A and B are shown apart, each in its own frame.
Chain A
């Protein structure tokens, strides 16, 4: 193996016998690292905590605290837990070796040792440790970048939901891993009408976040007033077809007329909207024909638009499938039928209360099983 050790790396040698320590020192002088020494267990712990060496060669039988105990303490302290430990001992029985390895040591060398073997093993473990550190650094870097993406993404969502006369709104948005692919937006049209968009990029994390941001930009650059739900989906699809492959984006666009209290809906692959009808104390999925998701190919058919009249007390819910497809530990999904129940929770009076009831129900179902997809909900209640 090529020796890439550097002088910024250090190895701590621990032995209570000065002669052994000297032989070990001379053996490793050529490996290219700084060598630190400790003559007993307490000294080893003090130096390891301070200097954070890249490798520790540890004798077992020492007068103060033995090597096993030193190793145990090193592995317990977060600052030193990651430092690889090699035991060097005259105890050559299998159970001694197993005991050492079980305590978290990476290797075990029996004394008297062959210098070449010690050098080879030291080099191997230094390389492994270095690669492990590199992977960890890259992971930190990547996570940091995704956090930045996530921050940008949050800024793309509406900062504050609009005040709509006679229609109270609330939203919930969470991503499963930093950045996500869900998106919702509300835009004011003329004559007391409002446009609602909810969309979900297939997949999650960075690739989904790119599609989400594109959809946001496209929607806000819509050339006219987005009054016609079918035209809005045609427009988004036309543009997303150029970039989305092999992925796609489900979307639902609805226009709410606050004067007439009607909702006109076009749906591309998104789950069916849910409605709670107050007069019947009943929640149901709105049967609304749709088209396949955005970004696959142009629609050669007319996109169906479903219109529904809402009444005072009615609740209108759109959501992404990260919610209905939230799993529990047994592998069951939450599902649409379960979702209808908290939507109809009688005691909830504000849309925030209803969303809280839904999220509590979902969490109770999933228990500690984490979400593996992004979840977005948008809910309105007619006053």
Chain B
């Protein structure tokens, strides 16, 4: 797994590549936590290069979503591939965290 983050126009973008599973989720959790240390209220996850998502990975995304809810902020997951999207939907998470097809539409959701 590779995880990077940047901030632009008040939006914290976190890109996760590869596999987000039980092995990689502790590192992802750490990076996400650090990325949310500031007062940000808008977070975008770019999952375009995410190949695999396990329940441990879902937990990382869930805790970010919960944190944003506490701050009355917004979060969006973008560009999930079909396989990851299916995992997300079968596990019922789409009603907890909004997803969009592209990063651009994700930015629109956060900016509205």
Residue numbers of B with Cβ under 8 A of A are 19, 22, 52, 54-56, 58-59, 62-63, 66, 90-93, 95-96
Contacts and interface: CB of A to CB of B under 8 A. Distances in A.
Contact of A292 (B22, B52, B66, B92): B92
A256 B63 CA distance: 36
A372 B24 CA distance: 13
B96 A250 contact: no
Contact of A202 (B19, B56, B95, B96): B56
Given A203-B22, A290-B90, 15 more contacts: A246-B63, A248-B55, A250-B91, A269-B90, A269-B92, A269-B93, A271-B90, A272-B90, A291-B92, A292-B91, A292-B92, A292-B93, A296-B96, A321-B55, A325-B54
A373 interface: yes
B91 A293 contact: yes
Nearest to A320: B55
20 contacts: A202-B56, A202-B59, A203-B22, A203-B59, A247-B59, A248-B59, A250-B55, A268-B92, A269-B90, A269-B91, A269-B92, A290-B92, A291-B95, A292-B92, A292-B95, A293-B91, A293-B92, A296-B96, A331-B19, A373-B54
A246 B59 contact: yes
Contacts of B95: 291-292, 301
Contacts, number: 51
Interface residues of A, number: 27
A301 B22 CA distance: 30
B22 A372 contact: yes
Contacts of B22: 203-204, 372-373
A301 B91 CA distance: 16
A203 B92 contact: no
Nearest to B96: A292
